[in-house]
Amino acid sequence: MQRIYFDHNATTPVEPEVLDAMLPFLSGEYGNASSIHTFGQRARAAVETAREQVASLIGARPQEIVFTSGGTEADNHAIFGIVEAASGDRRHVITTAIEHEAVLNTCQALEKRGVKVTYLPVDREGRIDLNALRTSLRENPETALITVMHANNELGTVQAMEEIGRIAAEADAYFHTDAVQSAGKIPIDVKAMGIDLLSLSGHKLYAPKGVGALFIRGGTRLRQLLYGGHHQRGFRPGTENVAGIVGLGKAAAMVQNSLAEDSKRIGALRDALERGLLERVQDSHANGSRAPRTPNTTNITVPGIEGEALVIALDLKGLACSTGAACSSGAVEPSHVLTAIGLPADEARASLRFSLGRHTTSEQVDFALEVVPAAVDQLRELSPTYRKTAEAR
């Protein structure tokens, strides 16, 4: 049976070129990047090359890149670090209702420490109201941080980053963005967007799991999250994961070089998949499709089925997709993202996310357009609620 992978927002395969770049640092090049002998110097040089590659991907300076264990650590460091370094009464954070749990749970932890957090609602397309953001800034105490994800992991919806950056600058608040789902898919320029801190993760852009990065604009007041040695200018102590960092750097360079071409090709495939599913699956609709989106993501509601049941049915046919964030897999509650855009709980549970990648082909899309409608029909036959609704029509 052929296996088709449409779950790239959960994780991506490691590119062969990335693995090739990593392999020497898993064997012969085993030096500690903090050692001053030749072994250490070679490891240090590889780490600094990767720092330059990651910085180039987002328009930053190499010295503004701190390597982490992934997006969750980077989000935690940015949010806790800014608030804990803030002076006086600056104990207010603004975020959105559709953030990843790495941001939402961090903000909830801050609330337990007495920090006030505003959770901005979103419209039907998953976008925040910029006027609501401005209004929230007038709250007392003063706002220390605005943290708004660049692209949503379930919808692909992209926020108006430059406008948010200007609002943050006018309010003298720091601006952090979780760019885990946008880095390597759409252009990022931290200077043009007014971003002070940005999180990204290697395994979302064809590097290995367990490595990520945090961009920290020069001059940003940020308290460190971990304590130990003086690695990475004291921001992130601990011996560097040299092989993982090299892999992240190589992946960043690769996706940057092919960004425009990949975006166009993958976007066309996503549109063909989305259009075909809406035509073939009765009563289905796409979520967030009227807003700017990452080119690889579509989220489809299929009334009359349970999303997890459909995911299992499709997996048995050789197609991998998801009901939403991998970090929320197995959750009883419906997606907080889909309920935030106004979907009732039953429709939120009946939604699937298809996320394509660099190696997705038109033949794979054609395969999905065959198996998804068939699987939906089979599950709907078993749903008395959907049958009654269909008969009433």
- For residue range 127-173, list pLDDT tens digits in order: 999 999 999 997 667 999 999 999 999 999 999 999 999 999 999 99
Per-residue model confidence as pLDDT tens digits over 321-359: 999 655 555 556 899 999 999 999 999 999 999 999 999
Q: Name the pTM for this structure.
A: 0.95
Known catalytic residue: 107? no
Q: Structure tokens of 161?
A: 């980053």
User: What sections of the chain are H helices per DSSP?
Assistant: 16-22, 38-58, 71-85, 101-112, 130-137, 161-170, 190-193, 242-257, 259-280, 307-316, 336-340, 345-348, 362-381, 384-392
Topology of domain 16-257, CATH? Aspartate Aminotransferase; domain 2 (3.40.640)
Q: Where are the domains of the chain?
A: 4-12+259-392, 16-257
Residue 100 makes CB contacts below 8 A (sequence gap 6+) with 71, 75, 149, 153, 178, 180, 325, 327
Residue 334 contacts residue 345 (beta carbons within 8 Å): yes
Terminal Cα-to-Cα distance of the chain (whole angstroms): 38
Per-residue pLDDT of the chain (393 residues; tens, 9 = 90+): 889 999 999 999 999 999 999 999 999 999 999 999 999 999 999 999 999 999 999 999 999 999 999 999 999 999 999 999 998 889 999 999 999 999 999 999 999 999 999 999 999 999 999 999 999 997 667 999 999 999 999 999 999 999 999 999 999 999 999 999 999 999 999 999 999 999 999 999 999 999 999 999 999 999 988 889 889 888 898 999 999 999 999 999 999 999 999 999 999 999 999 999 999 999 999 999 999 999 999 999 999 999 999 999 999 999 999 996 555 555 568 999 999 999 999 999 999 999 999 999 999 999 999 999 999 999 999 877 666 555 555
CA distance 376 to 39: 57
> Catalytic one among 19, 226, 327, 371?
327
Q: How far is CA 300 from CA 25, 112, 155, 163, 279, in A?
A: 42, 36, 9, 29, 12
Q: Which helix (H) or strand (E) holds 300?
A: strand 297-301
Paired strand residues for 151 = 158
- What would the CATH number be for the domain defined by 4-12+259-392? 3.90.1150.10
The DSSP code sequence of 166-208 is HHHHHTT-EEEEE-TTTBTTB---HHHHT-SEEEEEGGGTTS-
